[in-house]
Amino acid sequence: MANGLSLIFEVAPGASPPEASDGLKTAFTPVATTGPTILHYVWLASLPPAADGNQKLLLTTVYDEEFSKYIIDLVNANSDGFDKAAAGIVGLQYMVANNGHVKDHMDAFVAFVKANDLNQGTSGLLYKTTFVQAYSYSVNQIIGAMGPG
């Protein structure tokens, strides 16, 4: 079953929206040669600034796995990309301070993503969005049925 991820976040002061979004583009491009097969269509949209003036961005994607496992698999597939992205996102910068890494704060990172996901978040959202899957097979099931390429 596919699930939607709609992550709202603020760009950190001193970082530009392109820096934060470029970090996320890098993060969502797996570089690990082992691990899950993850197919990504990720899109970013600029939103009106937060009350403090920080730029807000919305990242949207779809995934097949259980939520926490998906986030962990993503980080493990490109930990350097997530470190680069975290440096420009309010609430994640502490993870990469002093040469730290997102993967060393996995529980906190998963909690951050979950809290700021419009599909399941709890950070003062007025409503949860609904995600509809128009087909019953996951990407991995489709790839498996095709056999070795």
Radius of gyration for the alpha carbons in the chain, expressed in angstroms and rounded: 16
User: Is the pLDDT confidence value at 142 over 70?
Assistant: yes
The residue ranking higher by pLDDT, 139 or 48, is: 48
The per-residue pLDDT of the chain, averaged, comes to: 81
The residue ranking higher by pLDDT, 148 or 66, is: 66
Beta-carbon neighbour count of residue 53 at 10 Å? 8
The answer as to CATH 3.30.530 being correct for domain 3-119 is no
| Residue pair 11/17 in contact by the 8 Å Cβ criterion | yes
User: Is the pLDDT confidence value at 124 over 80?
Assistant: no
Beta-carbon neighbour count of residue 122 at 10 Å? 11
The residue ranking higher by pLDDT, 94 or 48, is: 94
Task: State if pTM tops 0.85.
Answer: no
* Domain edges within the chain: 3-119
The residue ranking higher by pLDDT, 132 or 96, is: 96
Looking at residue 147, its pLDDT comes to 72
Looking at residue 141, its pLDDT comes to 74
Angle at 26 between CA 20 and CA 30, to 5 degrees: 145
Among 35-39, 49-53, 59-63, whose mean pLDDT is lowest? Answer: 35-39
Residue 46: DSSP 8-state: E
DSSP secondary structure, 60-115, as one string = EEEE-S-HHHHHHHHHHH-HHHHHHHHTTBTTTHHHHGGG--GGGGHHHHHHHHHH
